[in-house]
């Protein structure tokens, strides 16, 4: 009966909310079986696209061994979702036009945020920086961006130059730039640099979390203190002149890069552990709180020798958590559902970027929204009431139901808290 009521309410809300708007490719949907914290919050949402420029970045793509490193202006496009003033709540949400994993396919996403709405300035909201994979773009986790903004967060999602669908360059640039890009966007918003000035008065940048998928998660782990291994510095695709040593555990100066404003992180299917980018020394430098998200059938980042190994090695991250989707692959939890523009085509290249053989993407999105909300509310806002959503039996299929889930709805999930993953 409870589930039937939720279904009726969800369908009624979706119909009312989507009135006079295209219901295709909505990024704001909640399934009837979604856990409790997946629903949107009470804040109206604004969104704005800004461009930020780091004027002193090593030019990795044009570097060569033995030659002097040059520097360049690195411009990043950033989508910012934020709590908006109350008078925006009745306005029509925006459309997002985005290139997809198949650059020949352009998708139109539909959300709740009002383009260029006035930010709420009555309080300052914690900052969340989101970082996509290789390749990806700032809209890949847009479902999570809108959801968190509605709950009182400023969310900045980065288009990482040289790493987007339109601009995929040599992997060496991504290996070096991912962690510095995340720190730079934090600095730019905190200081109100150029186009970021509009949101600085609404942002509590001293309470920042990083959320990264795949290569974004690779950067998150580094910015949480996990220095790369010397094997990673010398990786066959690494930047020349051992540039990556700057971010390595063996660099005596690396610890000074740890930004104390970064209070927590959520690495989702983080790449690199299975390729030797971390060893015990580097993982020991990682300080929590951290919430790993993994699929135990991930063939890109790996599980036993990948995400699970990184979680088990982060012995000084207290607390550390890991949410595992059984049988899920690399497209776990983070990417938006498959855009409708892929349907009915003979060329389906890129579709797997948004789908999983075992899991419905919207269901994974909702579960991620639930756990991200509990984690960030606890560790950025100090809401102790959220702890109950993170102190769970290991197996969701066990006899004890998980807090926030209806009976049976956590089947297929595992959750670890500080103890080693089995």
Closest residue by Cα to residue 227 from 240, 244, 243: 244
pLDDT of residue 90: 66
pLDDT of residue 89: 60
pLDDT of residue 87: 76
Q: Please, what is the angle between helix 142-149 and helix 361-379, to 10°?
A: 40
Contacts of 302 (CB under 8 A, 6+ apart): 273, 274, 309
Q: Is 171 exposed, middle or buried (0-12, 13-18, 19+ CB in 10 A)?
A: middle
| DSSP conformation class of 305 | I
pLDDT of residue 105: 96
Closest residue by Cα to residue 247 from 216, 276, 223: 223
| DSSP conformation class of 329 | -
- Is 98 within 8 Å of 139 (Cβ atoms)? yes
pLDDT of residue 347: 87
At 147-162, the pLDDT tens digits run: 999 999 999 999 999 9
pLDDT of residue 400: 87
Q: Which domains does the chain have, with CATH numbers?
A: 2-417 (3.40.50.1820)
Peptide bond before residue 191 is cis, with ω within 30 degrees of 0: no
- Is 174 within 8 Å of 215 (Cβ atoms)? yes
Closest residue by Cα to residue 183 from 260, 294, 110, 280: 260
pTM of the entire predicted model: 0.94
- Is 321 within 8 Å of 292 (Cβ atoms)? yes
Distance (Å, whole) CA 93 – CA 17: 10
Q: What angle do CA 279, 283, 285 make, to 5 degrees?
A: 130
pLDDT of residue 10: 39
Q: Strands 125-131 and 106-110, how do they pair? A: unpaired
| Ranges of the chain with pLDDT below 70 | 1-22, 88-90
């Amino acid at each position: 009966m409870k589930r039937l009521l939720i279904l009726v309410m969800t369908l009624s809300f979706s119909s009312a909310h989507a009135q006079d708007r295209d219901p295709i490719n909505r990024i704001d949907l909640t399934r009837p079986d979604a856990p409790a914290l997946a629903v949107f919050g009470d804040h109206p949402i604004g969104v704005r696209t800004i461009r930020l420029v780091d004027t002193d970045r090593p030019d990795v793509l044009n570097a060569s061994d033995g030659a002097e490193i040059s520097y360049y202006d690195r411009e990043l496009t950033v989508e910012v979702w934020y709590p908006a003033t109350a008078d925006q709540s009745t306005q029509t949400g925006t459309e997002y036009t985005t290139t997809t994993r198949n650059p020949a396919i352009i998708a139109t996403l539909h959300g709740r945020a009002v383009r260029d709405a006035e930010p709420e300035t009555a309080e300052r909201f914690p900052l969340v920086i989101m970082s996509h994979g290789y390749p990806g773009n700032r809209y890949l986790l847009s479902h999570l961006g809108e959801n968190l903004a509605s709950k009182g967060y400023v969310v900045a999602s980065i288009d990482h130059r040289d790493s987007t669908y339109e601009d995929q360059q040599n992997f060496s640039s991504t290996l070096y730039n991912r962690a510095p890009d995340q720190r730079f966007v934090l600095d730019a918003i905190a200081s109100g640099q150029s186009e970021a000035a509009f949101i600085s008065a609404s942002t509590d940048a001293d309470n920042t979390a990083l959320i990264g998928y795949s290569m974004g998660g690779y950067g998150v782990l580094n910015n949480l203190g996990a220095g790369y291994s010397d094997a990673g510095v010398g990786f066959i695709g690494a930047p020349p002149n051992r540039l990556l040593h700057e971010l390595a555990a063996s660099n005596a100066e690396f610890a000074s890069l740890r930004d104390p404003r970064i209070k927590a992180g959520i690495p989702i299917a983080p790449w690199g552990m299975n390729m030797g980018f971390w060893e015990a020394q580097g993982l020991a430098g990682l300080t929590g709180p951290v919430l790993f998200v993994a699929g135990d059938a991930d063939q890109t980042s790996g599980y036993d020798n990948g995400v699970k190994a990184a979680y088990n090695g982060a012995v000084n991250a207290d607390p550390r958590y890991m949410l595992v989707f059984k049988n899920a692959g690399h497209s776990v939890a983070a990417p938006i559902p498959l855009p409708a523009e892929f349907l009915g085509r003979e060329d389906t290249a890129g579709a797997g970027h948004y789908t999983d053989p075992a899991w419905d993407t919207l269901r994974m999105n909702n579960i991620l929204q639930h756990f991200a909300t509990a984690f960030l509310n606890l560790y950025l806002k100090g809401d102790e009431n959220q702890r109950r959503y993170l102190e769970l039996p290991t197996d969701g299929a066990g006899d004890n139901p998980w807090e926030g889930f209806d009976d049976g709805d956590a089947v297929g999930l595992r959750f670890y808290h500080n103890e080693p993953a089995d």
